[in-house]
Amino acid sequence: MKITIIGTGYVGLVTGACLAELGNDVFCLDVDQRKIDLLNNGGIPIHEPGLEEVVARNRAAGRLQFSTDVAASVAHGQLQFIAVGTPPDEDGSADLQYVLAAARNIGRHMNGYKVIVDKSTVPVGTADRVAAALREELSARGAESKGALDELEFAVVSNPEFLKEGAAVEDFMRPDRIVIGTDDTPAGLRARDLMKLLYAPFNRNHERVYWMDVRSAEFTKYAANAMLATRISFMNELANLADQVGADIEAVRHGIGSDPRIGHSFLYAGAGYGGSCFPKDVQALERTARQYDQELLILRAVEAVNDRQKQVLGRKVVQRFGANLTGMKFAVWGLAFKPNTDDMREAPSRVLLKELIERGATVAVHDPVAMEEAQRVLALDLSADQLARIAFKATPMDALDGAEALVIVTEWKAFRSPDFEQIKARLKQPVIIDGRNLFEPPLMTGLGIEYHGIGRSVLT
């Protein structure tokens, strides 16, 4: 099938590359010329396991092309996927300017039946706004061409994306579910048939597509992210209490997760959630509710707990080393908001680094892939003088020399079985503050390491 992907970021690039891998003819559009040039020169703008190979293979096969040419992109695909960003507006609602700009571009250039597929995460009702924006462009063109374009048909479909950064290719190729919202108009029914055809390769073992109306599909994406964020904040809040009462949140996690009604997934206490999705989607859903005079009390609390949790590592450093960290150095492992990505959006590491620096410390950091992106975003968070107090180290061990403590922020696999003797030898004193509960406290005690996890201060 001929497919256009509008927006070549995490979602657009993965979607485009994976759909090309299935044999489709994919045209990826972006407004960012540098990104398109990089892709056309064989580069990849993001770190995502397996993506580089899929992109290279399909470019070579001629099934995947990248361009900034809007007219050519609209002409190419009968299916037009919108995968542009929907960042939070000032009031927390989703900013739809990029989505609507994409819709207008389609209206400006389309010459035959098109299916517009909203893949971006967008508030309930956005498909109607996309259709209205497109229709407006069509009628402007229709006026010019004296009505000749009145017959042009299109349908707007909601097909939210559930991939996880760091496992995006795998998630796209082996999805738990594919949610598709369509309407029952003739154009909508025709769109449903095309979407069925597109996703047929994913349904060979069992049906993975959940068909529903457009608004329910739009809502499903927010409901999923809100539920996941709720589980994280719930566990983080209980972990903080576990620290107070002397219980081990890890034991509690196993104890409750074994109940199939609860399940084991997504119950890890930590340093708070970040990334480009949970924070903004929780906020956007709250904002939608407010437009209907409803307050989502649970989600308000989820957000407040997360804001507080992002400060937990800084708080633990202060509890241990005092409020004035002048003259002290700390080692930080992990900068990305989660492993296997270089994404630094809303990363808890940014809150920790700001606090350490503002309290007078110097910091040595290591992240396996996010160092370059971290330097870019930290330059936004900190002054040049403050940034100069952060040393970016090529290996995790190099970050340790002379530091008062090691603080772990991201649970990269490479941090899970470190050489503890070397850690002890290189730190000024053997203290680990672990924001991801990577190690067992008794093991640490046995090694002579002072260990502070999240919710693991068991009274013995």
- How many residues touch ligand NAD under the rule CB under 6 A: the total is 26
- Tokens 């695909």 identify what position? 77
Taking alpha carbons only, the member of 290, 312, 287, 320 closest to residue 94 is: 287
Q: Which stretch binds ligand NAD (CB under 6 A): 81-89, 169-177, 248-256, 310-318?
A: 81-89
Q: Which stretch binds ligand NAD (CB under 6 A): 2-10, 259-267, 400-408, 420-428?
A: 2-10
- Least distance between ligand NAD and beta carbon 252 (Å): 29
One of 5, 191, 277, 353 is an active-site residue; which one? 277
Amino acid identity at 133: A
Q: Which is nearer to ligand NAD, 90 or 385 (CB)?
A: 90
Amino acid identity at 17: A
Task: Tell me the backbone φ, ψ of residue 254, rounded to 5 degrees.
Answer: -65, -40
Q: Which is nearer to ligand NAD, 7 or 396 (CB)?
A: 7
Taking alpha carbons only, the member of 306, 249, 311 closest to residue 282 is: 306
Pairing of strands 329-333, 405-408: parallel
**Contact with ligand NAD (CB under 6 A) among 10, 154, 219, 222:** 10
Q: What angle (nearest 5°) sits at the alpha carbon of residue 65, between those of residues 161 and 221? A: 5
Question: Which residue is nearest to ligand NAD, using beta carbons?
Answer: 9
Residues in the chain: 460
- Least distance between ligand NAD and beta carbon 158 (Å): 12
Q: Which is nearer to ligand NAD, 7 or 348 (CB)?
A: 7
**Contact with ligand NAD (CB under 6 A) among 20, 84, 117, 374:** 84
- Least distance between ligand NAD and beta carbon 321 (Å): 35
**Per CB under 6 A, does 220 bind ligand NAD?**
no
**Contact with ligand NAD (CB under 6 A) among 137, 165, 183, 346:** 165
**Contact with ligand NAD (CB under 6 A) among 56, 72, 101, 387:** 101
**Per CB under 6 A, does 277 bind ligand NAD?**
yes
- Least distance between ligand NAD and beta carbon 287 (Å): 14
**Per CB under 6 A, does 8 bind ligand NAD?**
yes
Are the beta carbons of 57 and 169 closer than 8 angstroms?
no
**Per CB under 6 A, does 98 bind ligand NAD?**
yes
- Least distance between ligand NAD and beta carbon 162 (Å): 6
**Contact with ligand NAD (CB under 6 A) among 102, 106, 312, 423:** 102
Taking alpha carbons only, the member of 323, 345, 313, 337 closest to residue 431 is: 313
Q: Which stretch binds ligand NAD (CB under 6 A): 4-12, 211-219, 229-237, 397-405?
A: 4-12
**Per CB under 6 A, does 88 bind ligand NAD?**
no
375 vs 363: CA distance, rounded Å: 13
**Contact with ligand NAD (CB under 6 A) among 21, 25, 30, 355:** 30
Handedness of CA 420, 342, 46, 371 (dihedral sign): negative
Pairing of strands 25-29, 178-181: unpaired
**Per-residue contact track with ligand NAD, 120 to 159, x per CB under 6 A?**
xx--------------------------------------
Q: Is 277 a catalytic residue?
A: yes
Q: Which is nearer to ligand NAD, 38 or 301 (CB)?
A: 38
Q: Which is nearer to ligand NAD, 119 or 350 (CB)?
A: 119
**Per CB under 6 A, does 47 bind ligand NAD?**
no
In the complex, the residues that contact ligand NAD under the rule CB under 6 A are 6-12, 29-32, 35, 83-86, 98, 101-102, 120-121, 161, 163, 165, 276-277
Active-site positions?
277
